[in-house]
DNA sequence: AAACTTCGCAACCGCAAGGTT
DNA sequence: TAACCTTGCGGTTGCGAAGTT
């Protein structure tokens, strides 16, 4: 198992992505997919390493990314899955459609963990002491509070580094759908992008499927970006069909995955019971 | 109103797994 | 089968925004 040297850093950009870079990446992936991340930036004319492109796509540009606050249900699911799976963020993310492992990891570290710690302390009879008093998120999030928080549209940060503040669009994807169809193949990823990039209709359907109120979606989508890059029209159905046929039998075993999820969750429950 | 503190999150880093040659 | 290559993952960091003093 060798290890490829990380991207040669000379001449490569780092840090926040510019809208132009985003657009270039989206456009390239729309046209060619991403069979080879390492070669992608070169072909796409980006001064980034492949790793950076991949992360940007997966965590931010993928059209099926769901943004905005986590719902109470999602947070609860994360907590439960974390009990079962530990820090396997990608596995957890697979159960949360539209959420990325990075995002889940962030949420965990920023407040779920604290919440649990505080709850544990409270349960242990120790007074909760918090030095911080930041209205935004300082208080431990009780489930009800979490729910309230979750339904509050997130405030966009206009000054954020990237102008593509949020896609706000979702799609039940092949890779990270509720059916937990995990996919790592480029073809499937391309399909994912096709599916996601496809159409707002689909995305809206997916939103409905996932039972998330549209108010949870951030209003701060930079529509100009999506319209200027014509993301919704980027992948025509022909492309998609082609890619679907390429992926062929990769309608992965959602049944299996559901089974294992169920098992894990049940195991978690049983463990909880055991603790009790 | 300015300085300071805290938080959220995008992005980076390094490692490991798995595929290919 | 060993070396190489690419991708994926988890931990961590840095920066900008928001809140507090």
Q: Which residues contact A41 (CB under 8 A, 6 or more apart)?
A: A47, A48, A49, A50, A52, A53
A104 vs A145, more confident: A104
CA–C1' A127–C8 (A)? 41
- Decide: CB of A248 under 7 A of nucleic strand C: no
Long-range contacts at A218-221 (CB < 8 A, ≥ 24 apart): A218/A67, A218/A68, A218/A153, A218/A154, A218/A156, A218/A165, A218/A166, A218/A168, A219/A153, A219/A156, A219/A168, A220/A154, A220/A155, A220/A156, A220/A158, A220/A165, A220/A166, A220/A168, A221/A165, A221/A166, A221/A167, A221/A168, A221/A169
Residue A200 above 50 pLDDT?
A: no
Residue A262 above 50 pLDDT?
A: yes
- Decide: CB of A154 under 7 A of nucleic strand B: yes
3-state secondary structure at position A235: coil
A64-82 pLDDT tens trace: 888 788 888 888 899 889 9
pLDDT of residue A125: 61
- Decide: CB of A52 under 7 A of nucleic strand B: yes
- Decide: CB of A137 under 7 A of nucleic strand C: no
CB contact at 8 A, A7 and A50: yes
Query: Which nucleotide is closest to the Cα of A131 by its C1'?
Result: B6
Q: Measured between alpha carbons, how far apart are the two ends of chain A, in Å?
A: 44
Residue A83 above 80 pLDDT?
A: yes
Distance CA A259, CA A254 (A): 8
Per-state percent for chain A, helix, strand, coil, to nearest 5: 55, 0, 45
User: In whole numbers, what is the pLDDT of chain A averaged over residues?
Assistant: 58
Q: Extract the tokens encoding A202.
A: 């689909």
pLDDT of residue A112: 83
Query: Which nucleotide is closest to the Cα of A12 by its C1'?
Result: B12
A54 vs A215, more confident: A54
CA–C1' A141–B19 (A)? 44
Residue A165 above 50 pLDDT?
A: no
A223 vs A85, more confident: A85
3-state secondary structure at position A262: helix
Share of residues in chain A with pLDDT > 90 (%): 11
- Decide: CB of A246 under 7 A of nucleic strand B: no
pLDDT of residue A98: 86
Rounded to the nearest angstrom, the gap between the alpha carbon of residue A97 and the centroid of all alpha carbons in its chain is: 7
Residues 54-113 of chain A within 7 A of strand C, judged by CB, are 54-55, 87-91, 101-102, 105-106, 109
pLDDT of residue A57: 93
Q: Of the candidates A85, A163, A150, which has an alpha carbon nearest to the alpha carbon of residue A111?
A: A150
Query: Which nucleotide is closest to the Cα of A51 by its C1'?
Result: C7
Residue reference for tokens 């000379």: A10
Residue A148 above 70 pLDDT?
A: no
pLDDT of residue A97: 85
pLDDT of residue A225: 40
- Decide: CB of A10 under 7 A of nucleic strand B: no
H helices of chain A, in order, are 19-32, 40-44, 50-56, 72-85, 89-94, 101-107, 113-123, 143-151, 186-198, 200-209, 223-229, 237-247, 254-275
CA–C1' A238–B14 (A)? 40
CB contact at 8 A, A47 and A15: no
Phi-psi bin for A240: left (phi > 0), alpha (psi -120 to 50), beta? alpha
A202-255 pLDDT tens trace: 333 333 333 333 333 333 334 344 444 444 434 443 343 343 333 333 333 344
CA–C1' A1–B18 (A)? 9
Angle among Cα A52, A56, A60 to the nearest 5 degrees reads: 165
CA–C1' A51–C9 (A)? 12
Residue A266: pLDDT band with limits 50, 70, 90:
low
Q: State the average pLDDT over residues A117-128.
A: 62
A67 vs A17, more confident: A17
Q: State the average pLDDT over residues A180-208.
A: 35
Q: State the average pLDDT over residues A254-264.
A: 50
| Burial (CB count <10 Å: 0-12, 13-18, 19+), residue A161 | exposed
Q: State the average pLDDT over residues A161-177.
A: 34
Residue A191: pLDDT band with limits 50, 70, 90:
very low
């Amino acid at each position: 198992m060798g290890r490829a040297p990380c991207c040669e850093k000379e001449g490569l950009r780092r840090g926040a992505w510019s809208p132009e870079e985003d657009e270039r990446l989206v456009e390239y992936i729309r046209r060619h997919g991403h069979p080879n991340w390492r070669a992608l930036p070169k072909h796409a004319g980006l001064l980034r390493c492949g790793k950076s492109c991949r992360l940007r796509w997966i965590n931010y540009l993928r059209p099926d990314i769901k943004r905005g606050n986590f719902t109470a249900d999602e947070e609860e699911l994360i907590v439960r899955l974390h009990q079962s799976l530990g820090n396997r963020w990608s596995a957890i993310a697979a159960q949360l459609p539209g959420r990325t492992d990075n995002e889940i990891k962030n949420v965990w570290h920023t407040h779920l963990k604290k919440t649990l710690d505080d709850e544990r302390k409270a349960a242990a009879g120790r007074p909760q002491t918090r030095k911080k008093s930041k209205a935004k998120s300082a208080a431990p999030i009780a489930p009800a509070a979490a729910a309230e928080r979750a339904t509050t549209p997130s405030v966009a940060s206009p000054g954020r580094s990237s102008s593509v503040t949020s896609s706000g669009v979702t799609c039940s994807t092949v890779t990270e759908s509720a059916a937990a169809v995990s996919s790592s193949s480029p073809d499937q990823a391309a399909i994912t992008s096709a599916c996601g990039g496809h159409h707002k209709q689909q995305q809206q359907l997916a939103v409905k499927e996932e039972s998330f109120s549209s108010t949870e979606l951030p209003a701060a989508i930079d529509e100009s970006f999506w319209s200027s890059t014509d993301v919704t029209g980027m992948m025509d159905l022909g492309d998609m069909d082609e890619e679907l046929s390429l992926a062929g039998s990769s309608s992965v075993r959602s049944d299996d995955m559901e089974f294992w999820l169920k098992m894990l969750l049940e195991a978690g429950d049983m463990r909880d019971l055991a603790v009790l």
